[in-house]
């Protein structure tokens, strides 16, 4: 049983998920960029697609690109006070 569990666990690709921040937004940004820059054309076959996608992903990973968030929590609360009034009323 332990050997089977180890075999299954070795198939899992573990990915870093930020402890803080909107990781789902970050993933959405990546998919959007991939759509615009890589997947915005037809591919002749699946083999070409399987070559292109990893090559596209490698470039930003190699460059260690980061996301510059526009809002701090305080700035977001000031800017979005009409949408989330209960946050402003508690302070």
Return the sign of the alpha-carbon dihedral for residues 56, 59, 62, 65: negative
**CA–CA separation, 38 vs 49, rounded Å?**
9
Q: What are 17-73's pLDDT values in tens digits?
A: 666 657 777 778 888 888 888 888 888 999 998 888 888 888 877 888 777 777 777
From residue 71, alpha-carbon distances to 21, 22, 55, 67, 75 in Å are 11, 12, 32, 12, 6
Whole-model pTM: value is 0.44
SS3 88: helix
Q: Which of 37, 38, 36 is nearest to 49 (CA)?
A: 38
């Amino acid at each position: 049983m332990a050997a089977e569990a180890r075999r299954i666990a070795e198939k899992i690709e573990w990915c870093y998920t930020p402890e803080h921040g909107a990781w789902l937004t970050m993933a959405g940004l990546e998919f959007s960029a991939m759509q615009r820059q890589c997947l915005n054309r037809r591919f002749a076959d699946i083999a070409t697609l399987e070559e292109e996608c990893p090559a596209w992903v490698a470039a930003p990973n190699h460059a260690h690109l980061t996301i510059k968030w526009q809002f701090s929590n305080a700035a977001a609360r000031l800017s979005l006070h009409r949408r989330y009034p209960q946050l402003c009323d508690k302070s």
